Structure 1
Amino acid sequence: MHFTRVPHPAPTPDHIREGLIADPGFGTVFTDHMVVIDYDEGLGGWQTPTIGPRGPISLDPAASVLHYAQEIFEGMKAYAHPEGGLSLFRPDANARRFNESAQRMAMPPIPEATFIAAVREAVLADAAWLPPIAGGSLYIRPFMFASEAFLGVRPARQYKFIVIISAAGDYFKKGVNPVKIWVAQNYVRAAPGGTGAAKTGGNYAASLVPQAEAIAQGCDQVVFLDAVEHRWVEELGGMNLFFVRADGSVITPPLTGTILPGITRDSLIAMLREEGLTVREEPYSIDQWREEARTGTLLETMACGTAAVVTPVGTVASPAGEFQIGAGGTGQITAKMRERLVGIQNGQIADSHGWVMRV
């Protein structure tokens, strides 16, 4: 694929970049370049990709995204590979999910090969931004929004697809330690028939108030229950959940349209089954969670997602009180799954699934 290349007039000096990536945190240190691909229905669809300096986006005040929220995104990472260079983890799965989100939001699909090529170009341009720290990665954010200027409720005819990159360390400030989560009381993340399975910004905007409520209660994250019965556990604000039980079974809530189909979630299902565990995708209630934690039937709860990878849940809180998962620490399965998944992503463990793509 041909990319039009726009030279960067003033890339970040080496000494400044090195200072920024020494301790980048998560989501605040951005690299020099971005990929932009325009879509115009009147011009036949997707136009020539451009890679150039990262910078502000010029938008008309009537741009559809500002009024009707046609917007989707993905989250993925590039990792250092032990043989040199960088690698991506399951970028084809991100491309497929991106297009599934596009379909739900009445947006044009982007060819999967174009999506992956755009990600590769962005990573190659800014490979020097990889943090030289344990757990360091390049967090990649492909996104698309409606850019047509009009005021009317219909799908836009013009869009922008953009890829930006952030140098990233650990998602949680306290590192890989058990998190405490708050059960959302008066809010739901998604309802049947809604956009819960799409990776669209509105889902995350709706989670901000309950997330603030969780923080006010001394918790790290919020967990949402279903919108109909307010009984069934669905997901955290940005992570899927697994429940590891003493009988050798693992339960994860099913993908019924209200839960984001996580790529880390899908990977863990395969890996857990390889460990000889029985993984069931079935409803799991908040009452069952509390009771199985009390009786010891539940050994561990794992939260998972691209940003945080695999994270143990130690305590669950609500107005009804708190309950602890196991001993409140990091369980054996959680630790093993995190170590194995990170090892595959970093090229330290053999990739028997063909998940890793060298850049």
Structure 2
Amino acid sequence: MSAIIKDIEIIKSKTTKINEVDFNDLKFGNTFSDHMLVCDFKDGKWQAPKVVPYQPITLDPSAKIFHYGQSVFEGMKAYKDVDENVFLFRPLENFKRLNISSKRLAIPELPESYFMEGLKTLLEVDKDWIPKNEGSSLYIRPFIFASGNGFHASPADEYKFIICTAPSGAYFSGKVKVLIEQTYSRSANGGVGFAKAGGNYAGQFYPTQLAVAKGYQQVIWTDDNTHEYIEEAGAMNIFVRINDTLITGPTSDRILDGITRKSIIEIAKAEGIPVEVRKITVSEVVEAAKNGSLKEMFGAGTAAVISPISGFGYNDTDYDLPELEDTFASFLKKTITDIQTNKSEDPYGWRVKLD
């Protein structure tokens, strides 16, 4: 989209909460920065975005977000290095995916400059909120939802685009034990599984609660038709290491095109790690666990980067993964986070420095 935005209005908060925050003890996504970016779609076009104090949103009870679920979002992070430089990681990929998600839910697509310049302006205003502690970052949540009113089942005529930020510590700590799902499905062919739509995540909560009640932390989603193919790990893409080959499923209508996933594949190939992007069956994983060739499983996503899996349950049987000293998961996570935090060279051109 060709719309260009130059000067973004900034309305600064008269007070700050930053002195109340313990940056050495940050929970994930529980503390919010002083400002947010807001942009409205009305009269058939996106209006000028502006930065305003972080505040509640007032909506009419008939706002269509409440009734028909037109809502999409992204997850990103900003990082500071030791010299106070601020960096983003592949932000244009988040912008592109936000518009892909929007299009699928009949939400008007956003101009690139509104997203990128709006984000940079917001980060400049709240740059003191970006943590420097090891493992911490400023989590960024861009989202769009239907704000237009009416009970008629149709796309809204008004929308809000908002970016909020939250200084956060690590998303997960330690390894997780997962249950391979055999009843419920995350998504289906022709559906919205490839989009970061809010409803996708709402539909995951109940099956995950059932797994937690059985002693697992997460579920492994399988295909909706046969439940024979492994697809995602909770809200993350999934990787399986059999012997020394890294395997992940291909993206489709059902699987999110994860930015961390794409980065892992590219790094692994560059480092000489054999990578296969193909369908992987539950039976193949179970057999590999039985014969000892299953070395690792891990989830991959923005929030946790990489979340190692310690074992999985299937057909009332638990399978433990071996504890290895040097894992693909730890190597890949360190490689990505070192690029993100400017601790290493970036041969891929993924790191974006904010001027």
Bin the TM-score by the shorter chain: over 0.9
Deviation (angstroms), 1:237: 2.0
Name the residue aligned to 1:15.
19
Q: Which deviations, in whole Å up to 9, do the C-alpha atoms of 1:287-327 show, x marking residues without a partner?
A: 111111221222211211000001211100134311122x1
Q: Which deviations, in whole Å up to 9, do the C-alpha atoms of 1:208-231 show, x marking residues without a partner?
A: 011111211222211111100111
Name the residue aligned to 1:128.
128
Name the residue aligned to 1:235.
232
Deviation (angstroms), 1:330: 6.6
Q: How does 1:272-283 map to 2 (within 5 A)?
A: 272-283=268-279
Letter in 2 for 1:351: D
User: CA distance change for structure 1 residues 330 and 214 in 2, over 3 Å: closer, same or farther?
Assistant: farther
Which of 339, 349, 355 is matched with 1:354 structurally? 349
SS of equivalent to 1:342: helix
Distance in 2, matches of 1:228 and 1:60, equals: 39
Letter in 2 for 1:88: L
The reply on whether 1:285 has 2:281 as its aligned counterpart is yes
Which of 215, 220, 239 is matched with 2:217 structurally? 220
User: Is the 2:239–2:299 contact (alpha carbons within 8 Å) kept by the matching residues of 1?
Assistant: yes
Q: Which deviations, in whole Å up to 9, do the C-alpha atoms of 1:250-308 show, x marking residues without a partner?
A: 21011121011100000000001011122221111111111112212222112110000
Name the residue aligned to 1:268.
264
Name the residue aligned to 1:49.
49
Letter in 2 for 1:336: F
Q: How many residues align?
A: 349
Task: Output the TM-score relative to the length of structure 1.
Answer: 0.94
Deviation (angstroms), 1:15: 2.9
Task: Output the TM-score relative to the length of structure 2.
Answer: 0.95
Letter in 2 for 1:277: I
RMSD: 1.4
Name the residue aligned to 2:8.
3
**Larger CA deviation: 105-114 vs 53-62:** 105-114
Distance in 2, matches of 1:131 and 1:2, equals: 27
Name the residue aligned to 1:81.
81
Letter in 2 for 1:266: K
User: CA distance change for structure 1 residues 211 and 331 in 2, over 3 Å: closer, same or farther?
Assistant: farther
Deviation (angstroms), 1:158: 0.8
Q: Which deviations, in whole Å up to 9, do the C-alpha atoms of 1:34-73 show, x marking residues without a partner?
A: 0000111x2x401111101000001011111110000000
User: Is the 1:25–1:169 contact (alpha carbons within 8 Å) kept by the matching residues of 2?
Assistant: yes
Distance in 1, matches of 2:50 and 2:142, equals: 14
Which of 25, 32, 37 is matched with 1:30 structurally? 32
Q: Which deviations, in whole Å up to 9, do the C-alpha atoms of 1:137-162 show, x marking residues without a partner?
A: 00000000011111112111111000
Distance in 2, matches of 1:80 and 1:274, equals: 26
Name the residue aligned to 2:194.
197
Distance in 2, matches of 1:81 and 1:121, equals: 19
SS of equivalent to 1:265: helix
Distance in 2, matches of 1:123 and 1:203, equals: 28
SS of equivalent to 1:344: helix
User: CA distance change for structure 1 residues 68 and 330 in 2, over 3 Å: closer, same or farther?
Assistant: farther
Q: How does 1:47-126 map to 2 (within 5 A)?
A: 47-126=47-126
The reply on whether 1:255 has 2:257 as its aligned counterpart is no
SS of equivalent to 1:30: coil
Name the residue aligned to 1:320.
316
| Runs of 4+ residues over 3 Å off in structure 1 | 328-331
Letter in 2 for 1:28: N
**Larger CA deviation: 295-304 vs 27-36:** 295-304
Deviation (angstroms), 1:132: 4.0
